[in-house]
Structure 1
Amino acid sequence: MFSRKTTIASFLVIFAALAVNCSLYMMKAKMAQKDRRYDLAIDYGVKHLRKHPEDAGALRFLENAAARYFEATKETIAGLERIEEWDEVVKVSSVAYKRLRTLLALSRLSYPTESEITFLKNKMEHSNIKRAEALYIKGKSQLDAGEYKKAIATLAQCQECVAYFKDTDDLIALAKTKLAEAHYQKAVNFYNAGDYSTAIEHLEQVQRYVENYKDTAEYLRKCKEGLANEYYQKGQSFMIRGEYQKAIEEFEKSTALVPNFRNASYQIAKAKEELVRTNYEKGEEYFRAGHYKQALDSFAKVLEYRSDYRDVREKYEEARDRLTVKVAALPFRTSGLSASFGNVVVEQIISKAISQQREFLAFVDRQHLREILKEQALGQTGVIDEKTAAQVGRLTGANTIMTGTITLVSVHEPAVTKTTKKANYYVSYLDSRGIKRKKPVPFYYTCFRKERSVDIQISYQLISVETGQIIESKSMRQHHTDVATWVTCPKERINSLPSEDKKRLYASQEPKSRNTLVAEAIDKLSQKVARAFITTVQTIMPK
């Protein structure tokens, strides 16, 4: 941390620099040179000179900094050369070369000259040669030790330093040939053992290292034919066993290796036709037995291969229709609430239920349902019996009726409560020794609290259209509260209030309205009802 004196001194230096028309960059440059950071001194000096091109003093400063920087760089390079750190020599020389080239572009400088630039360039080239030499020796050693992959990587690095260095191309070619030969011998052994898949892997490695190596292409052709024949034979076996999906997979593997291998394409078409036929027949059997989910899966498999096969699309839709729980959700009756809330709660339950269970669940369109109820004068009393449920189901296509009641159980609004709190403000005084001090002086302010809460209950029933029986009957309750708190205090003491209470000075003095609380409670409660409803739907859904 800087002391107060240091901070003041820094400000004085800045003000003095500005007073003599010295830029902040120049000041930083001089401080860097003082710390022997000649690289930073040059960089800041160049920035200053671009803003003040006529500053002769800055030109002299840069020449001096450049000379010192060059000498320091020479010493660093010499030290690195002694320990043969050629990578570092290249880095140091490259950075210095770029920096001094920037200065050379400023034509009014007498230093650096082309001599310094040439020196650094020669060092880079010399170090690259030395580095290439070291990598060349390492690569040859790896080649002699049979580490062919490492040798290739090392010799490639050598060529990055110096292109076409010595016989690196020949050595890399030799290493690749050695690797190709090793993979070739393994491939031949695996081929003779009948392991065509592994043989192909090695032959592809041969081609990666050396193109057209020996008779690799011929072996690769034979291996692919041999492996294709294995897949073909497996496909035939699956066909005999009636496992057409597996047969298709094996025949497709065969044609992927060798296009039009034997009559694999014909066998694929034949297997697909059999797969379509058998799945269609299975679907019909499942449907007749009332196993609609299995029927749907079988018809879906038919559609995957032949969407135009007989009446499969109609069969698929019929199976799906049998699986789907179609609900006619009647407006809920209300007690203690506006009738509009009866529609609100149903809409929310439907929305939340669909977001949780999108498949095999459908609701009768609300507008369509209202029109039917109005035309037929059904459900006017809110009571759905066996006869009414059957009638609603027949008219709407629903197989399940949802009805219920939403009740405002209670509204609680206790009286406003207030609490007196104590806080302090501070006054200044002089103690007996004349030192200025502060002492707390208490004051009092008032906190107010007003609460409003509602209790909502939803009771609902699910009724089977087919039987008129109640599938489920449940009731759920939700308590919802809002509180308003605010503060009053003398105007002159506002700034002395605790921060939390200060925020309450301008807070609302009314909690949320009754209708708002009811709407929020319904939102939370409809989420609970939707979850319970979905659980029931999953149990009554046809299998």
Structure 2
Amino acid sequence: MRRIYIILFALFIFGCAVSESYRLGQELMGQRRWEEALVYLEKAVSEEPANQEYREALKLARTEAAKVVYERARQSLVGREENLLNLEQAVREAEKAQKIDPDSRTIAAFTAQLREKVNTLRGKLKALYIAADQDIQKEDWVGAADKLRQINKILPNYEDTATKLARVEQEGAKQLYQQGIELMKQEDWHLAAQAFKTVMDINPNYYDVAKLYELAKTRDSFDYYYTEGEKAGQNQNWDRAITMLTKASEYQPDNVDLQNKIEVLKSKVGQIYFTEALKLTNQNLLNKALAKLNTAKNYYPTMVSDAAYKDLLNKICVKLIERADKYAEKEYWGNAVVWLQKAEAINPDYPNLFQKLLEARDNINKRIKKSIAVFDFGSPANNKDAGKIAANKLIAYLHKNASGDLRLIERENLQSILREMQLGQTGLIDIKTAQNVGKMRGIDTFVMGDVLQYAAITTDNHNISQAKVLVKEIEKKNPAYELWLQLNPKPTPEELRKAPPMIIKEPEYQSIPYKRGVARITAMLEISYKLVDTTTGENILTNTIAGKLIKEDSYQDSVPEAGIQHDPLILPTEMEVLDELTNQKISEVGQSVLKQYQSLEKEYFDQGQLQEKRRNYELAIERYIDAIYDEKLKGVVTPITKKALENIEKLIQEK
């Protein structure tokens, strides 16, 4: 400090002799405005680089200014969160201080420390962002919200964090809120409380979640479940009584008296339900009887060894099979399968049950498989085999690409059927005849058509070109040499070396003709076809497909003397080009045919829903079973199967 005052005093004494920049700099130093002083002192030194006094003053100003900036950077972080914005601002200040005083180890260390923190936070930011995305994909809303909030603390408005956080808070809270509501309906108050608590962690102000959380907490107790169990028992609501008391026991697992009470109640309810199952069986309400009997067995497992239980089970099984047989007589194979499967579930070894199930399933598979017959197509006048070729290729394509729920009919006697139906080219059809033929032959759909054009044309565009070939060279006296010799009658050896050649060779050329050209094969195909529904006699689909395929190649003869290489003509035959085009177009025909049947399971399901709306419940079950078995044939499982099974159970629950 004393040194500073000495320098300031010296500056004051000699102030009148210094530059204006230096004078202003010393005034600012006297006011301890070090950063501002630097500007003037640096200018003064640049004006007089050799002035040691100026240089000493500048050095002092730099040291003090760097300390001021360093302290400002350090203080900017005191009491504030070390987020990325604050740290980067502090880094800029620290770098400024380091630039002012590059020799300060303290400032250098501080700057390096801040940079390391910034890099660490940036790495953490990216990792959190990726992890939050993964949590969103997994619908881990709590984890995603926590990570996104951490990101906001590190760097507000990073990427699309704000949008994602809003979505997480909305979607996550909504999903967990709905889970909580469902758990409330099931009276699982412990899990409901957890769900509502999680909603509050994500979005504390979401609807009435705070109120529901408090309600769930008050009911998440032994007293609540025990009291509710007692009330249900008094009201003979046996299932609820057992459920509530069992939940109460989870809060007091060592309560032996309660465990004994539950076992006694289960035994009692099991006997009650057994009696009800017997009554329902006598009323021929077999599905309800089975449900009661299964519940009785679950409550009182030892009853399975009782003769009365076995007799009732056998009685139900007999009635189930009798019901299935009645449906089978009406060819309601879907309904038959439903009841046979229930019999199989309670007694898989019942006599002839396996064969009955096999017959019903085979008949279902048979009826849901759409049968298709492909007739020989009509042929154009120029090729009598074209129609048969097209039909054969279409059959091959369908065999290769058809799903398991389609069946291709062998084509024996199809020409005679075509004549019998008298379809011709008009598409008109006698519905009654079509129905009779379809039933007689087991055909659902006819594929018929005509090959309107089936041709390939070869064109050869060639010409004769001329190749100029050197035949020989004739030696002649060189006129230039003769003229030179006249001018130089007595040439020296040196002049002779520089003279034009005495003899010259004159080339003699000959034109040799050779053939070159471009050959092209153009194949053309046009097919008109239709799909005919034999049930209604209507055209399901009519279409015409046309196409052209061109193959070409250039060629030329060889002329070795002229360096012309032989380029052979390499082209497939007309039939090969036509066959390639036919394969392409028949694939299009096949795709359009198969497209009509690609969603049979949905068609069956929709028909089931329609019959259900019309209250034709048995027919609805038939169509739902068709949808299920169609997916089995295709080897796929979609929500259609699940929904169809649910609908069937709903339709038979009172039977």
Q: Larger Rg: 1 or 2? A: 2
TM-score bracket for the superposition, by shorter chain length:
0.3 to 0.5
- TM normalised by structure 1 equals 0.41
TM-score (norm 2): 0.35
